[in-house]
Structure 1
Amino acid sequence: MPAIVGAVKVINIGSSSIFHIGDVYKMEPSTQAKTFAGGGSFNTGNGIRIAIQNSTTGFVDSDQFDQNIVEI
C-alpha cells in the first residue's frame, strides 16, 4: 500500500539490519555468531554475587562451518 513518508533520520543500523521504506516483497536479515562463555556469564538481575575461584572455558571446534547462511 503506497504511503507518503516525511523526513526520516537514521542514527545507526547494525551489520545485519534492514532499513526499508515503501513496498517490499521479502526482507530477510541474516547473521551468525558463536559464543563461548565461562562460569558466571550471562547473569542478569539485581544484587547478583558470583564467587568463582578458577574458571576456564575450553572448547574444541573441529568443523569448519557450523551454521551456513544461504541466500535463496
Structure 2
Amino acid sequence: MPAIVGPISINSVGGGVVNFGDSFYLSPKSTSKTNSGSGALNTGNWIITNNGLSSTNPFDPDGADQNITANA
C-alpha cells in the first residue's frame, strides 16, 4: 500500500537509514574508504597478530569507487 507522508525536516542522521513508507531501493548517500595494514582493524580483548612484514598501498587507479552523484 502506498504511504502518504507529510512535510518532514531531518537536520542530521548519524549512521543508519531513515525510511518513511514504501521504498523500492535504498542506497547510500555518502561513502568513505580506509587504508590499513594487516591486523590493524582487529577488535577484541586478547588479540595476537604475527605479521613479519606489512605494507599498505593506498594508490587507487580507478579514481572513484562508489559514485553517488546520480543518487539524488
> What TM-score does the superposition give when structure 2 sets the normalisation length?
0.49
If asked which structure has higher relative contact order (CA below 8 Å, sep 6+), I would say 2
